[in-house]
């Protein structure tokens, strides 16, 4: 990952944005310490698609899940 001082990054901002857009992470430093990282957002094609029904039968709900709890009787 290329590292660029913030002063240099100001002068080369368009170039650094293009590099980040094409998938290269760019680290901008300030006083020789990491300051900001430019990175392209994840493209929708790279995101894992949801598989509906993949946990079917693994999740259940108690029959009395919406009944008032004994600990809260005084609040009713």
Residue 14 covered by a domain: yes
- Domains of the chain: total: 1
pLDDT attached to residue 57: 85
Which of the 8 DSSP states describes residue 2? -
CATH of the domain at 33: 3.40.1620.10
Note down pLDDT in tens along the chain; length 76 residues.
889 999 999 999 999 999 998 889 999 999 999 999 999 877 666 667 788 888 888 888 899 888 888 888 888 7
DSSP 8-state symbol, 41: P
Residue 19 lies in a domain: yes
Q: Does residue 36 sit within a domain?
A: yes
The alpha carbon of residue 19 and the mean position of all alpha carbons in its chain are separated, in whole angstroms, by: 20
Structural domain for 13, as ranges = 1-40
Give the whole-angstrom CA distance, residue 64 versus residue 70. Answer: 12
CA distance 37 to 16: 10
């Amino acid at each position: 990952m290329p590292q660029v001082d913030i002063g240099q990054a100001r002068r080369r901002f368009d170039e650094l944005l293009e590099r980040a857009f094409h998938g290269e992470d760019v680290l901008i430093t300030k006083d020789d310490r990491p300051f900001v990282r430019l990175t392209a957002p994840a493209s929708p094609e790279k995101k894992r698609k949801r598989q509906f029904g993949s946990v079917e039968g693994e999740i259940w709900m108690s029959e009395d899940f919406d009944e008032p709890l004994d600990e809260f009787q005084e609040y009713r």
